[in-house]
Amino acid sequence: MKCKKYTLSELATIKYGKNQKKVVSDNGNIPIFGTGGLMGFATTALYDKPSVLIGRKGTIGKVKYVEHPFWTVDTLFYTIINTDIVHPKYLYYVMSLIDLNNYNEGTTIPSLRTETLNRLEFDIPSIEEQEIVLSCLNPIDEKIKSNNVINNNLEEQAKAYFDKLFVVNADPNWPECTLSDIGSVIAGGTPSKSKPEYYADQGIAWITPKDLSVDKSKFISRGENDISELGFSKSSATKMPAGTILFSSRAPIGYIAIAQNEVTTNQGFKSVIPNENIGTAYVYFLLKNLLPTIEGMASGSTFKEISGAAMKSIPTVIPDANTIRLFSNLCEPIFKEQEVLESENKHLSTLRDSLLQKLISGEIDVSDLVF
C-alpha cells in the first residue's frame, strides 16, 4: 500500500470525557464508558459519531472502538476523527497495534497526555485501500462479536437459574455457615521483582488483578508474567488447581475469573478452591452474589481491601447436595461452551492482529485482494 505519514493530531481531535453524575440514569440507554468498561447508562450522549476511546488515566494500555452514541468519564479520551483522511475503524486498528503503556507519564497512577499522543505518527493509505483492509478484518470482528453474544446469553441463563434455586427459592432450613465452609480461601504472593531469576517466560502461571482488568474473559490460564520454580519457592504464592475461582481482594475488589489450569496469584487475591461436593459453578455465582457483602466488610484508608480472615468469615449457607448437583449439571455444558468460545475468540483476535500487521506492512498486497 502507498501510505502517507500523519500525526494523530492530523487524524483526530482528542477530547476529554466528562463527569457522568448529571446524566446517569436507570432509564438511560446511552452507554457510559470508563477505563474498566461499561459503567452504566446515560440519558444523553457526549458524542454520537464513530470514535476511538483512549484510556487517559489508570488503565491506559488499550483502545476501544465505538460506533454508536456514548458518554465517557474523565479517565477516558474520546476522539473526533477526520474522516476525510482516515476511516474511524481503521484508526482504531492501527492504534490497537501500539502499546500505550510505553507513553505513560504518570508518577503514581498511569496516565497519558494529549501533547504526547498528538505527536504519534501513523502511515495511512488511501480511503479506498483502508476499506479493502476493513473488508478483510470486519468478518473476524463480527464472529468475535457473535461469540460474545452467545456467551453473554449463556451467562444470563446460568445466573437466572442460580437466582431461582439459591435466592428466590432458597430453603430456609439450609444451615448457616461461612465461606471457609464452602471452600479453601487462598491468598497469593509476589516473588521479589529485583530477582529476575524468580520469573520465567514459560514457568508457573501467575495472575495479578491487572491481568483480569485487561482480559475480561471468564476463564484464564495465565497472566502477563510467569514465575519460576525458584521464585515460587521464595514467595508466599500457592499453586491452585483448575476450577479455582480467582477473586481480586483489592484495587479493585471483585474481579472474578475461573482458573483453566494450575495457577498462582499475587497477594491481590483471596481465591476460593471449592470443596468437591460444592463445585466451581456454585462458588463462581455465589461470589458474584456476595460481592456487596464482601465490599461492605473491606477496610483500608488508601484503598479498600478484604483480608483473608474477613473473606473466610463471609456469612452464607450450604444448600442441600441435590440442589447443588442440579445446578452443577446445568452449568457444566454451559461453562464448557463458554470456554470453547473464549478460546476461539483469542485465536481469532491473534489472527486478526497478524493479518492487520501484514496488510499494513505490505507483506500482503491489498491490490491483489478482490471482493
Q: How confident is the model at residue 183 (pLDDT cuts 50, 70, 90)?
A: very high
Task: Looking at the structure, tell me whether residues 134 and 184 fall in a common domain.
Answer: no
Tell me, yes or no, whether 168 lies in a domain.
no
Per-residue confidence (pLDDT) for residue 196, from 0 to 100: 95
Q: Rounded to an integer, what distance in angstroms lies between the CA atom of residue 321 and that of residue 313? A: 22
Per-residue confidence (pLDDT) for residue 89, from 0 to 100: 95
- The answer on pLDDT for 1 being more than 80 is no
Tell me, yes or no, whether 287 lies in a domain.
yes
Per-residue confidence (pLDDT) for residue 40, from 0 to 100: 92
Per-residue confidence (pLDDT) for residue 213, from 0 to 100: 84
State which residues form the domain around 103.
4-124
Task: Looking at the structure, tell me whether residues 243 and 140 fall in a common domain.
Answer: no
Grid cell, residue 253, equals 475488589
Grid cell, residue 292, equals 456487596
Give me the residues paired with residue 248 across strands.
Answer: 269
Grid cell, residue 355, equals 493479518
Among 295, 318, 341, give the residue marking a domain's end.
318
Q: How confident is the model at residue 336 (pLDDT cuts 50, 70, 90)?
A: very high
Contact assessment for residue 60 and residue 23, using Cβ atoms and an 8 Å cutoff: no
CATH of the domain at 61: 3.90.220.20
Tell me, yes or no, whether 159 lies in a domain.
no
Tell me, yes or no, whether 285 lies in a domain.
yes
Q: How confident is the model at residue 107 (pLDDT cuts 50, 70, 90)?
A: confident
Q: What percent of the chain has pLDDT over 70?
A: 99
Nearest by Cα to 76 from 86, 66, 84, 89: 66
pLDDT tens digits, residue range 9-57? 999 999 999 999 889 998 999 999 988 788 999 999 999 999 999 999 8
Q: Which residue has the cell 452464607?
A: 316
Q: What percent of the chain has pLDDT over 90?
A: 83
Per-residue confidence (pLDDT) for residue 115, from 0 to 100: 95
Task: Looking at the structure, tell me whether residues 366 and 276 fall in a common domain.
Answer: no
Per-residue confidence (pLDDT) for residue 345, from 0 to 100: 97
pLDDT tens digits, residue range 201-213? 999 999 999 899 8
Per-residue confidence (pLDDT) for residue 108, from 0 to 100: 84
CA distances from 172 to 166, 175, 364 (A): 10, 8, 65
What total number of domains does the chain contain?
3
Task: Looking at the structure, tell me whether residues 13 and 144 fall in a common domain.
Answer: no
Q: Rounded to an integer, what distance in angstroms lies between the CA atom of residue 238 and that of residue 233? A: 9
Contact assessment for residue 281 and residue 328, using Cβ atoms and an 8 Å cutoff: yes
Task: Looking at the structure, tell me whether residues 290 and 182 fall in a common domain.
Answer: yes
Tell me, yes or no, whether 165 lies in a domain.
no
Q: What is the C-alpha radius of gyration for the chain, rounded to an integer number of angstroms? A: 23
Q: Indicate left, alpha or beta for 51 from its phi (over 0: left) and psi (-120 to 50: alpha).
A: beta
pLDDT tens digits, residue range 275-303? 999 999 999 999 999 999 999 999 887 78
Q: How confident is the model at residue 368 (pLDDT cuts 50, 70, 90)?
A: low
Mean pLDDT of 337-355: 95
Nearest by Cα to 322 from 277, 256, 274: 277
Residue type, 282: Y
Q: Rounded to an integer, what distance in angstroms lies between the CA atom of residue 270 and that of residue 207? A: 12
Mean pLDDT of 174-183: 97
Mean pLDDT of 83-87: 97
Per-residue confidence (pLDDT) for residue 217, from 0 to 100: 95
Tell me, yes or no, whether 103 lies in a domain.
yes
Tell me, yes or no, whether 208 lies in a domain.
yes
Q: Lowest mean pLDDT of 177-181, 224-228, 229-233, 360-364, name the range.
A: 360-364
Task: Looking at the structure, tell me whether residues 89 and 182 fall in a common domain.
Answer: no
Q: How confident is the model at residue 109 (pLDDT cuts 50, 70, 90)?
A: confident
Output the CA torsion sign for 69, 159, 256, 216.
negative
Q: What is the mean pLDDT of the chain?
A: 93
Tell me, yes or no, whether 161 lies in a domain.
no
Q: Around Cβ 39, how many Cβ atoms within 10 Å?
A: 16
Task: Looking at the structure, tell me whether residues 228 and 304 fall in a common domain.
Answer: yes
Task: Looking at the structure, tell me whether residues 230 and 198 fall in a common domain.
Answer: yes
Task: Looking at the structure, tell me whether residues 86 and 190 fall in a common domain.
Answer: no
